[in-house]
Amino acid sequence: MTLRHERAERHRIQIRKGDNVRVISGPDAGKSGRVLSIDAKKDRLVVEHVAILKRHTRPNPNKNIKGGIVEKEGSIHVSNVMVVCGSCGKHTRIGHKVLPDGSKSRVCKRCDATLDKG
Binding region for Zn ion (CB under 5 A)? 85, 87-88, 108, 110-111, 113
**Taking the complex as a whole, how short is the minimal distance between the CB of residue 18 and Zn ion, in angstroms?**
17
- Tell me whether residue 51 or residue 107 sits nearer to Zn ion (CB atom): 107
Count CB-CB contacts under 10 A for residue 23: 20
H-type helices in 1-118, by residue range?
none
Residue 51 or 83: the one with the smaller Cβ distance to Zn ion is 83
Nearer to Zn ion, 47 or 107 (CB): 107
CB of 71 to Zn ion, least distance (A): 32
Tell me if 43 sits within 8 A of 19, measured CB to CB: no
C-alpha triplet 107, 96, 90: angle, nearest 5°: 30
Let me know how long the chain is.
118
> Minimum CB separation from Zn ion for residue 34, in Å?
17
